[in-house]
Structure 1
């Protein structure tokens, strides 16, 4: 179940209901979906710090007051961006192979992270700023569907929730670690990494220096699969449920 992340841009149309707002510099109605698409494009390009309400209004071609009719402040914009990215993540609750389905979800989440690396901090932090019952349905949907998948497989509800938390805790940590080099240290090549490690005092860091080739050859996809092997095998072995 690999669903490629949808390509988003400064779209002026969407499936959301319009409110007939036509004032400002542009023509035609503005939708919340179009505003959030424009915000996502800005964050993809320049990060969260590059987003402002005025810049968002310019991207949509409207006066800022028109934007405020759809999103009251920047915090609401950030929540909305996390919402539309999470909406691209789906779980098949009817899959008879729960392990394979969780692997597919993990791969899809990593794909979304690689497609929107500067949005990942929002995916990790923004939902936590809102009580679970008040979060958008697109953010809560993966949890509901995963609980359905796991209870169908035979896990008790509390154990299914534990699996969900363990999986996404692992995924958040994995993608943040993998994207650290892409976003924060894009110029650190394998050669630079090796050189830096070999400058460490060998008497103090013998193991880290020895692992320089392994660290330089980091492969996010391979690391994800290895981590899933450990996590899912351990969960299946320790929790009462299937088998």
Structure 2
């Protein structure tokens, strides 16, 4: 388990706990913080996807006890319910019963009854990179905390290039997975990413692993 408090997270009252492949982030609710918090999640989701990690989760508002030893409460239960039963695909659902999605953003999608973070558009990446270039000291701190050795590249990458890379990673997994549930989840994201690039290729057009075909038969 990894825990981080105000000093490392960088916000008064905020806490971060990881266990297994789960991450719990909490902070005292402030309406003025909602937009930047969701944008930060969008940036994290897209950054992880560019490295081949598919993120699923939920954001809610409610009562929670979160310290360096334990995290529990109705808000955690609700977030887990949304993530495990309703998110389904690699996306971060917003609990619209407790949280009003910010209007006029380029990182939130509303479809049917679902509102979720959607950073998979070239314009989102291009805007974030222009407004918030990564500073070397931030990258140094990240590398020190995680043990990674990610350089801070001077040149900027276009949103189209980054999303093409995400689509390529998805297509590789879609053509090699033997698990039907995994294929279904990744095919949803593949369609969104390719569609945002103006493409018309769908996951059904990609070759499938023989083991997947056998499993579906």
What band does the TM-score fall into relative to the shorter chain? Answer: 0.3 to 0.5
Higher fraction of helix: 1
Q: How does the TM-score come out when normalised to structure 1?
A: 0.30
More relative contact order, 1 or 2 (CA 8 Å, 6+ apart)? 1
Higher fraction of strand: 2
Q: How does the TM-score come out when normalised to structure 2?
A: 0.32
